[in-house]
């Protein structure tokens, strides 16, 4: 899920950074450009570190910035199909629950929360099981499995789907009820 990649590329350093040490300036520009972005191959880029092998700067006509070839490290978060994850419910709707997994919200569709029929109560903001009376609300901690991943580069159309129907998955309290004292199964 969390990975570290070494990336080689070029960076444009504007003149406003020329008064600072080169490595510091390049790191600042790389962080501004990449951190928080989503790349379909790498995942969400969380942190840029260790700029090195900085090439000699080139100036392009009409652009006062310098352009450098550079190698740097990126720490990323990329959800993997069938991976078991822990998260916290960030929002409950009539069609399911959004669960914060790392830096991303994933959806557990109402049909994937339990085998019981879940109904939504708009006033309480909860999903409740018809037979089991199990409740799911915002801030509940859950364990789920990733069943679909579709990452799109910074388009907002990325989707991660979860299930909690399999044994050993679900709300922490449900797992304790099933005999896992710590909800850690």
Ordered by start, the domain boundaries in the chain are 2-77, 84-177
Residue with structure tokens 């080169």? 22
Lowest mean pLDDT among 29-33, 56-60, 155-159: 155-159
Q: Which residue has the higher pLDDT, 158 or 15?
A: 15
Three-state DSSP class for residue 12: strand
E strands, 31-181, where? 38-39, 43-52, 58-59, 66-77, 84-93, 96-101, 104-109, 118-121, 126-129, 135-136, 141-150, 159-163, 170-171
The CA distances from residue 74 to 45, 107, 158, 166, 183, in Å, are 7, 26, 20, 34, 33
CATH superfamily ID and name for 84-177: Nucleic acid-binding proteins (2.40.50.140)
Domain boundaries 2-77, corresponding CATH code? 3.30.1490.120
pTM of the predicted protein model = 0.78
| Same fold: 2-77 with 84-177 | no
Cβ neighbours of 61 (radius 10 Å): 4
Give the pLDDT of residue 185: 44
Q: What is the mean predicted confidence (pLDDT) over 126-136?
A: 94
Residue-averaged pLDDT of the chain: 91
């Amino acid at each position: 899920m969390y990975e570290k990649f070494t990336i080689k590329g070029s960076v444009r350093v504007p003149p406003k950074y020329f008064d600072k040490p080169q490595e510091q300036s390049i790191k600042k520009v790389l962080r501004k450009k990449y951190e928080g972005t989503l790349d379909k191959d790498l995942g969400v880029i969380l942190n840029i570190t260790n700029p090195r092998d900085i090439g000699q700067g080139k100036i392009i006509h009409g652009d006062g910035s310098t352009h450098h070839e550079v190698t740097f490290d990126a720490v990323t978060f990329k959800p993997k199909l069938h991976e078991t994850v822990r998260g916290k419910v960030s929002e409950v709707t009539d069609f399911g629950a959004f669960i914060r997994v790392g830096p991303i919200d994933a959806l557990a569709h109402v049909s994937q929360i339990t085998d019981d029929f879940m109904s939504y109560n708009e006033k309480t903001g909860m999903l409740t099981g018809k037979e089991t009376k199990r409740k799911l609300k915002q801030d509940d901690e859950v364990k789920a499995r990733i069943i679909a991943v579709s990452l799109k580069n910074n388009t907002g159309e990325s989707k991660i789907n979860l299930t909690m129907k399999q044994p050993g998955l679900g709300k922490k309290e449900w797992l304790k009820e099933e005999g896992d004292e710590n909800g850690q199964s």
